[in-house]
Structure 1
Amino acid sequence: MCFDDLFASLAQRRGFREYLTGLLAPRDRNRTLTCLAGAEPVAGARDPAVQRLQFFLSEAPWEAGQVNDRRLELLRERPETAPHAGGVIVIDDSGDRKDGTATAHVGRQWLGRYGKTDNGVVTVTTVWTDGQVYYPLHAQPYTPAHHFPRGQRDPGFRTKPQLAAALTAEGQQAGFPCRAVVADCAYSTSDDWYLALREARLAYLVHLKPHRGTWAPAHEPHTPIDAAHALAWCDAEHPGDWTPVERHFRDGHTETWWAADATLGGWQPHGVCRLVVATTDPAALPEKATWYLATNLPHPDAPHTATSTHPPADLAEIVRLYGLRPWVEQSYKQIKGELGWADFQVRSARAIKRHQTLVNCAFSFCWDQWFAPPGPLDTTAPDACPANRPERGPSYTPPAPTALLAQGLTRRPLLANPRHHPAPLMASLDRQRPARRTPGPPRRGHHRQTP
C-alpha cells in the first residue's frame, strides 16, 4: 500500500486499514471508535479491537502530517485529480459541538453549522476545486484564546484568518496552484489575511458584507450595497453599467446573472483592488442572490495589467471563480454526514488532528475508486498484513550459550546441581546474603527476645 512505509510496525499498518475501513463502511450510527470496530456502542468500549484503534489514534508513534503529504502527492500524480492553475483554493471554517472543557481546542464560540454560539471545536480548512473535482488540502483546529496563558497576547495564539493564510501558503507550497483564493465575508475584515496573501503573491476573491461601511466623501457610497445601487440599470434591453454573465452548472442547466465593477472608497474598476457586484436582479439586489466581491485580479483594461503578478480577469471570470465556493459546503456534507468528521471521542490535539487526517484520506480514496473501480481480486498477491503474523514482528530466540554455567562445579556439562557441590554453592550464596537487621529495644506488649 502507498502508506505502509509511513508506519513503523505491522500493528500501525493494521490500525490504518481498520480505521479507514470503519470510516468507509456503511453504518447507521455515529462513527465513534466502537462503530469503526463494529462493537456495541457502550458495552463494547473495552473490546480489544476498540482499544487497538484507540491506541493507534492517540498513542502510536506516527505523523499525521506525513500521511497528509502522501495523500496530496497521490492526488497530484493522478491525471483525473491533478491540480491546475484554473482551479481555486476555498477557505472556510466549520464548527462542531463538543461538551466539557477538557478537550483540546474546545470553547464557547460561533458554530456556523448550528447558526449559534455554543461549546465546540472550530476547524479552518482549505479545499481545492475546479468544479469537476474537489478535495480537502489541509485542516487546522482553531484554539480559543483562553487556552493560552496570556490570552490573545500570547505568542502562540492565532486568529482564524491567520490560520487560513498559513494553510493557503502551505497548499501552494505543496504543489496546488490556483487562479485565486476564495473566501466568504468572515475573512473580509482581517488586514492580516490580506497582507499574508499579498506576501505570498496570491490572488484573492472575498465576499464583503453588504452593509459594512468604509470611509468615503459624503456624496459617495459608503457601503457595498450603496455602491451597487449607484450603478445605472434600466432593464435587460438597456442594462446600463451591468454586463450579462452566463453561469453553467454541473447538472447542465444555465442561469443569466448580471455583473458590474463598482466604485467604493479605495475600490476602483481600474485600481489595484476592485469591487465586483454580481446578482440575478440588478434592480432588487436580492440578499441571497447577490455577491459583493473584493479582488486584486486586475481589470483587462487596467493600466497596471502588464506589470501585475496576476493575469487579468473579466466579469465572467470573476463570477465563475466565486461560483466554485459552494463546493466546500458539498465537501462538508460528505465528510461530516458520511465519514464522521465530528464523531471523534478523543481529547488530545494530536488525536484530533490524526482523526481529521484519516477522514480526509477516506474522502480522497473515494475519488480513487470513482475514477478506477476495483477489478477482480488477485488471490495470488501476498497479503501486506497477514492475520497469522504477530503484530510486534517476528519473535527473537537468543542463541544457546557457548560457555558452561557454573564451570568447575558439575561433573557433566549440565546446569549446576546443588546436591553435587553444596558447600561451594552455599558459600557463594552466603557472600551475597543481606545484612542481619539490628534488633531494636523491647517494646511494651511485644516481649521481643534478644538473640
Structure 2
Amino acid sequence: MTARRPCPPAPGPLEDYAARFDDLFFSLAQRRGFREYLTGLLAPRERNKTITCLAGAEPVAGAGTPGVQRLQFFLSESPWEAEQINDRRLELLREQSATAPHEGGVIVIDDSGDRKDGTATANVGRQWLGRLGKTDNGIVTVTTVWTDGRVYYPLHAHPYTPAHHFDRGRSDPAFRTKPQLSAALAARGKKAGFGCRAVVADCAYSVSDTWYLALREAGLAYVVALKPHRGTWARADQPHTPIEAAHALTWRDARRPGDWTPVERHFRDGHTETWWAADARLGGYGPDSSCRLVVATTDPARLPPKATWYLATNLPHPDAPHAATGPHPPADLAEIIRLYGLRPWIEQSYKQIKDELGWADFQVRSDRAIRRHQTLVNCAFSFCWDQWFAPPGPLDSTAPDPCPDEGPERGTNRTPPTPTALLAQGIAFGSRMAHPRHHPEPMVAILDGQRPALRTPGPDRRSHHRTPS
C-alpha cells in the first residue's frame, strides 16, 4: 500500500485533534481542507465566517482565489461522509472522562432558526424563526444537546424541510415534522451511547402525540413544558388547563404550604433560590397515573408567568402504584425541577458559542453542504471542550497581560473587542478566561501569521454583525 503523503499541520493543539479524524478522509486534499476549515471557524471573528473569511480572502473579490475554491470544493463536492465525522466526534467525547455521558444528564431538544434569503437553497422556507421571534424566510435545524449542568455539547442535527419542498406537501411519505425529527434524534443519541435521565423540551413539542409515542418506543423518559392555557377534556367541575390545575392546589403561606413542597435550586454562579413545586391533577394527568403534571413556581399565590413551569413527565411519582414496575426509576419533585432546569441554561451560552463559530454563516445551497458545515461547526465546538480540560502548559513570562488596568485615553472605546476563542493548548480549568502566559505557542498568534483577509470591516461595519439570541 502506498504511504500517505504528510498533511500540512494545523496550528497548535488543533493538529492533535484533527489527526484523530484522518482515517476518515482518503485524500491529502480532504485532510488539509478539514484542518483549514476548523482553523477558520476557531479564529477570532472579524466578519461573518463565510468561505472567503475562512480562507483569509477578501469578500466577493476573493471568491475566485485558489484557497477559497479549495474550501468550496471540500465542503460541497469532495466525497467524504459528514455522519462518519460526527460519529468520531461523539466517540472522542465519550472516551474523555471529563465529557463522558452518564445517566444523570439530559438530552435537550432545541431548534435553531436562521434567516436566509431566496428560495433556491435547500430547506429554506417561510417559517417561525426563534432567533428573530417572528415568521420569516430561513432555515430551521432541529438539534439534540447532552448536558448535566457542568458540560454541554451537541449530539446530532437535522435541518427541517418545509412541506412545500415535497410533491405531496405534508402528506408526502418523506415529510417529517419537527417533533418527529427531534424524537428520532433523541433515540439516535441514546443508541450512540449518550444515556440520560430524560429528554427535555419546551412547549413547542408537547402538542404532538407522535412525539410522545416515539419517545415511548425508544424507551426514553421525558420532561416537557406545557402551555399554561392549553385545554384538555375534563368534567365541568374540574380544571381544564394547566394553570387552572395549579390554582386548584391549596396554598396559604410558606409556613403552611398546603399542597406545595419547597425545592432548593442551585445556580452556576453559586446563588440559590427557593421554588415551590406540586403534583397537580388535570384530565389524565396525576401523581398516580402514567403521566404527571408538575407545577413549579417562585410564588404559588400569584403564579408569575415568567417564573412558573407547567411540566408533563412520564417519570413516576415515588408513591405511585407502578413506581417499582415501570420502565423508568421514580423521580421526586426536586429531580423533576432539576432536569427541566437544565434546558433554559443552554440558552445562555450554547447558541452564543455557535454564533461565534459561524453556525449560520454558510453560503452554500445543497442540503449535503449545509449538513457538512454544521458538522464541522460541531467539531470546532467539541475541540473547545477538548482543550478546556487539557492540562495547563508551562508559564510564558513574555506574553502580555490579557487584562491591562489602563482604559481608553478619553471617552469610551467604540470598537468592540475581538471575541476570545478557546484556541490554545492547556486552557486553564475553571470559570475564567485562559491566561496567555500559560501557553508557549498560542494558537491565535499562529493564526494571525497565516493569510489575513485583504480587508477587514471597520468599527462602522462591525455593528451590522448578527447579535446572539
CA distance in 2, matches of 1:117, 1:165: 24
Residues 354 and 377 in structure 2, CA contact (< 8 A), matched pair in contact too:
no
Q: How many residues align?
A: 379
Deviation string, structure 1 residues 179-208 (Cα, Å, up to 9, x no partner): 000000000010100000011111000000
Paired AA for residue 224 in structure 1: P
Residues 298 and 312 in structure 1, CA contact (< 8 A), matched pair in contact too:
yes
Paired AA for residue 265 in structure 1: G
Of residues 152, 158, 175 in structure 1, which corresponds to 2:176? 158
CA distance in 2, matches of 1:355, 1:295: 35
Please name the residue that 2:145 is paired with: 127
Structure 1 residue ranges without an equivalent (≥5): 379-451
- Alignment of 1:2 with 2:20, yes or no, is yes
Paired AA for residue 122 in structure 2: A
Residues 71 and 361 in structure 1, CA contact (< 8 A), matched pair in contact too:
yes
CA distance in 2, matches of 1:78, 1:46: 41
Please name the residue that 1:296 is paired with: 314
Please name the residue that 1:370 is paired with: 388
Of residues 114, 127, 134 in structure 1, which corresponds to 2:132? 114
Of residues 194, 208, 211 in structure 2, which corresponds to 1:190? 208
Residues 92 and 328 in structure 1, CA contact (< 8 A), matched pair in contact too:
no
CA distance in 1, matches of 2:249, 2:375: 47
Of residues 217, 234, 255 in structure 2, which corresponds to 1:216? 234
Please name the residue that 2:78 is paired with: 60
CA distance in 2, matches of 1:239, 1:176: 39
Deviation string, structure 1 residues 316-360 (Cα, Å, up to 9, x no partner): 000000000023324543343210100000000000000000000
- Alignment of 1:281 with 2:299, yes or no, is yes
Residues 129 and 327 in structure 1, CA contact (< 8 A), matched pair in contact too:
no
The structure-2 alpha-carbon separation of the partners of 1:58 and 1:377, relative to structure 1 and needing over 3 Å to count, comes to: farther
**Secondary structure at 2:193 match in 1:** coil
Residues 105 and 147 in structure 1, CA contact (< 8 A), matched pair in contact too:
yes
Of residues 54, 61, 68 in structure 2, which corresponds to 1:36? 54
Paired AA for residue 198 in structure 1: R
CA distance in 2, matches of 1:266, 1:90: 25
TM-score (norm 1): 0.83
Paired AA for residue 236 in structure 1: A
Please name the residue that 2:95 is paired with: 77
Please name the residue that 1:252 is paired with: 270
Deviation string, structure 1 residues 60-101 (Cα, Å, up to 9, x no partner): 000000000000000000000000000000001121000000
Please name the residue that 1:351 is paired with: 369
Deviation string, structure 1 residues 384-436 (Cα, Å, up to 9, x no partner): xxxxxxxxxxxxxxxxxxxxxxxxxxxxxxxxxxxxxxxxxxxxxxxxxxxxx
Please name the residue that 1:389 is paired with: none
Q: Percent identity?
A: 83
Residues 134 and 327 in structure 1, CA contact (< 8 A), matched pair in contact too:
no
CA distance in 1, matches of 2:346, 2:120: 29
CA distance in 2, matches of 1:332, 1:348: 26
**Secondary structure at 1:186 match in 2:** helix
- Alignment of 1:19 with 2:65, yes or no, is no
- Alignment of 1:307 with 2:325, yes or no, is yes
Residues 7 and 13 in structure 1, CA contact (< 8 A), matched pair in contact too:
yes
Residues 169 and 200 in structure 1, CA contact (< 8 A), matched pair in contact too:
yes
